[in-house]
Amino acid sequence: MGEERDKGKFINTESHELPPAQKEILAKGKKLEWITIFYLVTVIVSIYFVLGSSQAMKAAFLEDVLSIVPSVLFLIAYFFYDRRTPDHRYLYGLHKVFSVAFLLGSFALLGIGLFSFYDSSIALLKREHPTIGNIYIFGYSVWLGWVMILALLWSFIPAMILGRKKLPIAKKLHNKILFTDANTQKADWMTAGAAIIGIIGIGFGLWWADSVMAILISLSIMKDGFTRTKGAITDIIEQIPTKIDKDDEKHPLDFQIYWFFKNKDWVKDVRIRLRENGAVFFGEVFIIPSDPGMHADHLIDKIEEAYKEVRKIDWKVHDITIQPVKAFK
Amino acid sequence: MKTLWFICVVIATQCWSCNYPQDPDHTLDKIKNQTIRVGISESPGLTIVDDDQPSGTEVELIKGYAQTINSQIEWIEGSQELIVELLKEHEVDVAIGGYSKQTAFKKHIGLTRPYKTERIKVGATDKSKIPDEIEGKEIVVEKASHALVAVVKHKGIPIWKDRVIQTDGLVAGSEEDLISQGLFVSEYNLGTVEHVIAIPKGENGLLKSIENYILREWEKKEIKESL
């Protein structure tokens, strides 16, 4: 509706093309996410069958169920992003689907931590002693704790490898949801490790080992989830672009863009404004030309030339509006 | 890294020795060669509490187990609820008297693997009389029994009897009982009751010791008797 009316009225941002090297990295990232989802399903099934009454096992199980969320969000975000190029309806493109996915993914991580903390604390306060029975294989009795540890090892080693592989990809693509996902895998293997210690502890008659380990795990997940959720919210309310792994550190590109314009001989002074739209940056540049009597035609040429050049600094510099002014407010 | 290996080796050697897993409250150590305090509640067929000596299937089981660890038995009689409270306070070591895997107390106590699984089925004097489902059909059941629960759950119409007797109609009860009365039984189960022994929660060493007895001696004995 109204599409005819809108035609020719708006100008949308250009559709974003990743450089070939980044495209390759992205394809690798997507493949890893599919592997992750498939792998996590096998982990969830194997842990479900040996769950028992161990608190740490329960925490690990929940953790694994919820840790599918970031991977799925990443793929869903890409699905929408790929399907729709910027048009008269989405003038700024769909870059922000990644910001939304990042928020939901970090919130899931925070939720995992909070729930597991609550559940394990209650178990500890109630002094619940986990009962772990035995299974019988060919007449030999095997303590179920060992079977649990086996399932946890399956949730430990591959998660560690996947997380380590994703981390550099997320950094190169400046993709915060992928980064969150890599960290979720870290939470996965840490949870599994702590649960293993908890179960060995139960075997030594230390009933509290299990809950205490589960609480320690949940604290670390909670801290991670909190910083990430905070980062996602500040991205959406458009704080200055930050580094992917340190939300309190500015991204170095703002510095580069400022000096790019400042060093132009036709520019007397410059101020910039930048924001993150998913993996790319949008922004405005305000310029006081050095020659106030500069011919308008000449100035427009200079601006258009600078626009093309500034985008070559980095593939993340996507859309910059350059505005000549007489003075800064 | 070296300390890590050291810890692994210590754990492994500990675990290979027989007393792993251990009890947080050392129940097994306390009852071995000593006295085992057994909480007992009346449950027809399984436990019968008379003036002196209790009897029944579960009583036999516990007596057999106590022998293997060379312990005397001290019987403590009471309702299931009372016994569960005593288990929670570690004032009894083991409890018998009709506990099943689905017991309402399962959050508060530890349960062993089933020593016997009772299948509840529909029986009749003739195979062709057994219906595919019992919804809306009249079925004779014992008044206080798991079979009654199963019949009601399947929307059958129960007809109470003090004891199940030979009738021309349908009867529900445990597979064993029905067959011993010479009845034909259904292929399907109306329900199952997995009979277990109750222990204090988290006493994993005791659990392993009882489960080993159930598997190595009790189940073999049961099979021998049924032959």
How do residues A78-100 score in pLDDT, each as one tens digit?
899 888 888 888 888 888 898 89
Are residues B29 and B110 located together in one domain of the fold?
yes
Would you state the pLDDT for residue B68? 93
Let me know if residue B16 belongs to a domain: no
Q: Across residues B104-125, what is the average pLDDT?
A: 91
Report how far residue B185's alpha carbon sits from residue B118's, in angstroms, rounded to the nearest whole number: 14
Residue A170 is classified by DSSP as H
Let me know if residue B207 belongs to a domain: yes
* pLDDT of residue B9 exceeding 80: no
Q: Is A212 an interface residue toward B (CB < 8 Å)?
A: no
Let me know if residue B177 belongs to a domain: yes
Across the interface, whether the CB atoms of A132 and B22 are under 8 A apart is answered: no
Out of A137-151, B7-21, B77-91, B94-108, least confident range: B7-21
Would you state the pLDDT for residue B227? 67
Are residues B28 and B104 located together in one domain of the fold?
yes
Are residues B172 and B206 located together in one domain of the fold?
no
Say which CATH class A3-236 falls into.
mainly alpha
ipTM over 0.85: no
Confidence of residue B17 (pLDDT cuts 50, 70, 90): low
Q: How far is B14 from chain A (nearest CA, A)?
A: 9
Q: Is A206 an interface residue toward B (CB < 8 Å)?
A: yes
Confidence of residue B11 (pLDDT cuts 50, 70, 90): low
* pLDDT of residue B86 exceeding 90: yes
Q: Is B200 an interface residue toward A (CB < 8 Å)?
A: yes
Are residues B170 and B185 located together in one domain of the fold?
yes
The CATH architecture that domain A253-324 belongs to is 2-Layer Sandwich (3.30)
Q: Is residue A151 helix, strand or coil?
A: helix
Would you state the pLDDT for residue A207? 87
Mutate to test the interface with B, among A131, A196, A212 (most CBs of B within 10 A): A131
Let me know if residue B7 belongs to a domain: no
For chain A, the structural domain boundaries read: 3-236, 253-324
Let me know if residue B80 belongs to a domain: yes
Report how far residue A232's alpha carbon sits from residue A279's, in angstroms, rounded to the nearest whole number: 12
Are residues B202 and B101 located together in one domain of the fold?
yes
User: How many folded domains does chain B comprise?
Assistant: 2
CB atoms < 10 A from the CB of A149, how many?
20
Are residues B101 and B201 located together in one domain of the fold?
yes
Would you state the pLDDT for residue A2? 56
Are residues B40 and B89 located together in one domain of the fold?
yes
Q: How far is B162 from chain A (nearest CA, A)?
A: 38
Question: Looking at chain A, which residue has its C-alpha nearest residue B198?
Answer: A131
Report how far residue B202's alpha carbon sits from residue B92's, in angstroms, rounded to the nearest whole number: 14
Q: Which range of residues forms the domain containing residue B133?
A: 118-194
Q: How far is A210 from chain B (nearest CA, A)?
A: 12
- B63: domain CATH number is 3.40.190.10
pLDDT along chain A (329 residues), means of 10: 67 84 91 94 92 78 87 91 85 89 89 85 86 83 89 91 92 89 86 88 88 86 89 90 86 92 93 91 93 89 93 91 90
Report how far residue B14's alpha carbon sits from residue A203's, in angstroms, rounded to the nearest whole number: 10
Which chain B residues are within 8 Å of A130, Cβ to Cβ? 201-202
Pairing of strands B138-142, B170-174: parallel
Give tens-digit pLDDT for B147-178.
999 999 999 999 888 776 667 788 999 998 88
| CA-based nearest residue to A109, from A17, A181, A27, A212 | A181
Confidence of residue B30 (pLDDT cuts 50, 70, 90): very high
Nearest CB neighbour to A204, from listed B22, B203, B211: B22
* pLDDT of residue B13 exceeding 70: no
Would you state the pLDDT for residue A180? 87
CA-based torsion, B158, B163, B168, B174: positive or negative: positive
Across the interface, whether the CB atoms of A143 and B20 are under 8 A apart is answered: yes
Across the interface, whether the CB atoms of B110 and A200 are under 8 A apart is answered: no
Would you state the pLDDT for residue A3? 62
Are residues B98 and B111 located together in one domain of the fold?
yes
Would you state the pLDDT for residue A58? 82
Let me know if residue B19 belongs to a domain: no
Question: Looking at chain B, which residue has its C-alpha nearest residue A210?
Answer: B202
Are residues B139 and B179 located together in one domain of the fold?
yes
Across the interface, whether the CB atoms of B21 and A132 are under 8 A apart is answered: yes
Q: Is B112 an interface residue toward A (CB < 8 Å)?
A: yes
Write down the mean pLDDT value for chain B: 88
Are residues B147 and B35 located together in one domain of the fold?
no
Nearest CB neighbour to A203, from listed B21, B112, B113: B21
Query: Which positions 134-153 of A are in contact with B (Cβ < 8 Å)?
Result: 134, 136, 139, 141, 143, 145
Would you state the pLDDT for residue A184? 86
Would you state the pLDDT for residue B15? 58
Report how far residue B111's alpha carbon sits from residue B98's, in angstroms, rounded to the nearest whole number: 12
Q: Is A197 an interface residue toward B (CB < 8 Å)?
A: no
Are residues B159 and B178 located together in one domain of the fold?
yes
Let me know if residue B57 belongs to a domain: yes
Report how far residue B66's alpha carbon sits from residue B56's, in angstroms, rounded to the nearest whole number: 15
Mutate to test the interface with A, among B204, B212, B218 (most CBs of A within 10 A): B204
Rounded to 10 deg, the angle between the A20-49 and A176-203 helix axes is 30
Are residues B102 and B204 located together in one domain of the fold?
yes
Is A174:A317 a contact under the CB 8 Å cutoff?
no
**All residues at 6 or more sequence positions from B100 whose CB lies less than 8 Å from its CB, including other chains:** B146, B193, B194, B195, B196
Q: Across residues B196-221, what is the average pLDDT?
A: 90
